[in-house]
Amino acid sequence: TNILDMTPASLYEARFDGGAASERSPQLAPGSAWNDPHSGLSLLVGEATDAGITVSVRYQGRCAQPAEAELSFTADEQETALAMAAAEGCEWQALSGRTWLAAARNGAEVKLRVAAVNDNLHRAGLFSAGRYVVRVVQKGPPREMQVLSVSPPGPELPVRAPVPFLFYLRDENGSEDFQTVRLAVAPGDPASGVAPCYFRYSTARRLLQVSDDGESYRDGAAPARGTSGACTVTEASFLRPNRTDTVLRLVISLEGPSGQPVSFALQPEDAGGVLGPPVRAAEFTTSDQCRALPSIDFYLYFPAGASNQTVTVTAAPSPCAWSASTEDRWIQLGAVSSTDGGPLRFDVSPNTGEEAREGRIFVNGAPVRIFQYGVGENNPNLVTLRPPETVVSNLAGVGTIA
């Protein structure tokens, strides 16, 4: 019979047939012992002869318990001790299978050492203390971010009129546990990131928060808002079209006189509330002149059989005169100007190519982007990956900018 099948066969193997030992390894010599720190089982070889072998088997229960079931560390290299409550005569060990986490018994404690995080990611691991398992969580440093673009791209913002902003962000680490970003909107330069219209959101928990009242809402459950006198956030939402990019949409109404500078800044924040340096997103100047800005609240495409769709362009104040132009020959404008804020109609010719194409209509200098699918690419599911552009199929269509 096999003595015990709990370790690889290379450690020991001994078989007996008719009282004769067919194989004997050094581990089965008298006095040798084997201990399993996880199960509390130990073996001691007492006597091994041609007639047989004597093995003492001892089982010890959970006689040593750690004071904590979970430990949390920051991103730096650290050492600490975990107290153990052990019964008299209790034998126990501490083991870890993680390269960044070292655990060893030190008297009545477990001595722990965690290495510094060098990849900006949160990580978690387990180690055994006695017959218990302790979870260790180490938080990464604040995220590194890029601001890919900010829409609208114009240098001026209307005062006392809601204007939608789209912030295209990228987490340089490509991490799915991207935590929290704070957005500061304020007159002047919010260098510290703490400013009026303070906003924050979490892509990991799909949570939106405002700082004026401390309330929080899950995406789509209620309108988020933030008011401080300098500006008002009336709507907020975000989506993650892929693993690295995030699109944050805010509808902001600014207050104050014309010609006032306005800055946008972003700050990454880890799960422990540690802030990274602010990332300058955009700078604008307020203006109370009549200026139309695109406000595309939905995504357009032309499925088979559809004849028209609508792009909404808001003007502040209204009515507002506008002029329009395009350099794309496959987009034909119905008019190039209006003095009373009337609608702009345009035609889209068929796309017979294999690849999608992009066009632009400029209204008072602000672009409305048009994407048109190529042959075989008419997939409405792709529309949400490219907000806030207008997306049309390869078929001919008619659109209206009101």
Q: What is the pLDDT of residues 273-315, one digit of tens each?
A: 566 667 777 777 777 655 444 443 333 444 433 334 444 444 4
Collect all residues with Cβ–Cβ distance below 8 Å to 324 and sequence separation of at least 6: 333, 335, 336, 337, 344, 361, 362, 363, 401
Which pLDDT does position 319 carry in this prediction? Answer: 54
In whole angstroms, what is the distance from residue 147 CA to residue 351 CA?
Answer: 32
Residue 266 · residue 169 · CB < 8 Å? yes
Strand 366-372 and strand 279-287: pairing? Answer: unpaired
* Residue type (1 letter), 228: S
| Residue 227 scores a pLDDT above 60 | no
Residues of the chain with pLDDT > 70: what percent?
A: 45
- What b/e string do you get for 159-198 counting C-beta neighbours within 10 Å, with b at 16 or more? bebbbbbbbbbbbebebeebbbbbbbbbbeebeebebbbb
How large is the average pLDDT for residues 228-252? 65
In whole angstroms, what is the distance from residue 98 CA to residue 95 CA?
Answer: 9
In whole angstroms, what is the distance from residue 219 CA to residue 205 CA?
Answer: 9
Q: What is the mean pLDDT of the chain?
A: 65
Secondary element (H or E) of residue 173: none
Compute the half-sphere exposure of residue 281: CA atoms within 13 Å on the CB side of its CA. Answer: 30
| DSSP designation for 383 | G
| Residue 384 scores a pLDDT above 70 | no
Which pLDDT does position 61 carry in this prediction? Answer: 75
Which pLDDT does position 302 carry in this prediction? Answer: 43
Strand 366-372 and strand 390-392: pairing? Answer: parallel
Which pLDDT does position 317 carry in this prediction? Answer: 43
Residues in the chain: 402
**3-state secondary structure string across 140-164:** CCCCCEEEEEEECCCCEEEECCEEE
| Residue 4 scores a pLDDT above 50 | no
> pLDDT by residue (tens digit) across 268-277?
665 555 666 6
In whole angstroms, what is the distance from residue 73 CA to residue 271 CA?
Answer: 11
Q: Which two tokens stand for residue 112?
A: 């722990």
Residues forming a β-bridge with 73: 138
Residue 391 · residue 383 · CB < 8 Å? yes
Confidence of residue 34 (pLDDT cuts 50, 70, 90): confident
Collect all residues with Cβ–Cβ distance below 8 Å to 342 and sequence separation of at least 6: 335
Per the model's pLDDT, the better-predicted residue between 315 and 200 turns out to be: 200
Secondary element (H or E) of residue 259: none
Which pLDDT does position 338 carry in this prediction? Answer: 73
How large is the average pLDDT for residues 29-41? 71
* Residue type (1 letter), 240: R
